[in-house]
Amino acid sequence: MEISGLVSAIVIGIVIGVLGRLVVPGRQHIGILWTILVGIVAALVGTAIAAGFGVADTKGVDWIELALQIALAAVGVGALDRFKARR
């Protein structure tokens, strides 16, 4: 992976993490760094899943891929919040 790909993955991960956090209702007890990390992982996994289904490369905006990434980020933020709340 080139440096530009890494930087774009981080930027997209930040956006996806924030959007995923907005989808989860209530207040989350995790920091912004955890949100960013969850977003980066969700962006990468969502892209891999979309590629597996053959919807990762379409003309225009890849809405299905974006929805998968946000859903994965929401699940990740919710799971991490529950894990941190139990500690």
Q: How many CB atoms lie within 10 A of CB 75?
A: 15
Would you say the C-alpha torsion 62, 65, 67, 70 has a positive or negative sign? negative
Contacts of 71 (CB under 8 A, 6+ apart): 20, 23, 46
Is 2 a residue whose pLDDT tops 80?
A: no
Q: What is the tens place of the pLDDT at every residue in 32-73?
A: 889 889 998 998 898 889 889 888 777 877 888 889 989 999
State the pTM of this model: 0.83
Across all residues in the chain, what is the average pLDDT?
85
